[in-house]
Amino acid sequence: MLVEQAITSADKLFLQLRNDIVEGVIPAGQKLSENELSTTYQVSRAVIREGINRLESCHLVERRANVGARVVALSATGLVELYDVRESLEGMAARLAARHMSDDEIDELFALLTEHHSTAKDGETYYQEAGDVDFHYRIVLGSKNQQLIQFLVNGIYHLVRMYRVQLGMAGPRVSTAYDEHLQIVKAISNRDEELAEMLMRRHILYSRNNIQTKLSD
């Protein structure tokens, strides 16, 4: 789906670290010792530093000069802030997708939805995980806005996923989400930019409220 091939060893390390952080193998808030990582992953500190720099670009770690890097801490306010940004950017993505997606791409999007809807009947977890992600990715890519794609795909989505994984969000909202997705695609199909943006924003707002209630448990 999204080919992200590693060329240098810094690439490989970055991808592994990012995954370990998102999945919680390296817990949120933990200090990242360069020496420790260097021996753990069997690469020089230069590679480690390069990797940490890139993680900082993704907002997954925070660095302070002469002190070091820590994995970001997850908090309720952090989640709210993240979803506000996401609502804004993905709303714009939906608007631009309605403007720029080809008819073929829209057809594929319809096909994707029905496919996911049918498979969700059996094991409902699949849709929530991969299906939802896939849907949002296609909209974002459909915007054809490189800047927007960068921000969301290489930045925000990993943080969103980190919240989802570490707060244990696999929950329901499957059937209702499907309907919301369908309405969004219809709006895009009708080239109704205004509606597409509005529906996407509400969809994310609902999603956020859903997570927030779980957070206060």
Partner DNA sequence: CAACACTTAATTGTCGACAATTTAACCTAG
Partner DNA sequence: CTAGGTTAAATTGTCGACAATTAAGTGTTG
Task: Tell which one of 30, 40, 44, 114 touches DNA (CB under 7 A).
Answer: 44
Choices 28-36, 42-50, 128-136, 176-184; region in contact with a copy of itself by CB under 8 A: 42-50
CB of 7 to a copy of itself, least distance (A): 4
Residue 57 as a binder of DNA (CB under 7 A): the answer is no
**Strand, helix or coil at 69?**
strand
Residue 21 as a binder of DNA (CB under 7 A): the answer is no
Residue 120 or residue 140: which is nearer to a copy of itself going by CB? Answer: 140
CB of 38 to DNA, least distance (A): 8
Task: Tell which one of 15, 16, 28, 43 touches DNA (CB under 7 A).
Answer: 43
Residue 6 or residue 25: which is nearer to a copy of itself going by CB? Answer: 6
Give one word for 140, left, alpha or beta, with left for phi > 0 and alpha for psi -120 to 50. Answer: alpha
Displacement of CA 44 from its chain's centroid (Å): 30
CB of 130 to a copy of itself, least distance (A): 25
Decide which of DNA, a copy of itself, none touches 63; Cβ closer than 5 to 8 Å per partner kind.
Answer: DNA
Q: How many angstroms separate the CA atoms of 109 and 170, rounded?
A: 23
What 166-171 contacts at long range (C-beta under 8 Å, 24+ apart), as own/partner pairs, is 166/24, 166/28, 166/74, 167/74, 167/211, 167/214, 167/215, 168/214, 169/211, 169/214, 170/125, 170/128, 170/129, 171/128, 171/210, 171/214
Binding mask 76-95 for a copy of itself (x = CB under 8 A): --x--xx-xx-xxx-xx---
Residue 57 as a binder of a copy of itself (CB under 8 A): the answer is yes
Please provide residue 149's backbone torsions phi and psi, each rounded to the nearest 5 degrees.
-60, -45
- Contacts with 46 (C-beta within 8 Å, 6 or more apart), sequence order: none
Task: Tell which one of 25, 31, 81, 118 touches DNA (CB under 7 A).
Answer: 31
Task: Tell which one of 2, 103, 147, 216 touches a copy of itself (CB under 8 A).
Answer: 147
Work out whether strand 31-32 and strand 61-64 pair parallel, antiparallel, or are unpaired: unpaired
Which chain residues interact with a copy of itself by CB under 8 A? Answer: 7-8, 11, 46, 49-50, 53-54, 56-57, 59, 65-66, 78, 81-82, 84-85, 87-89, 91-92, 96, 145-148, 150-151
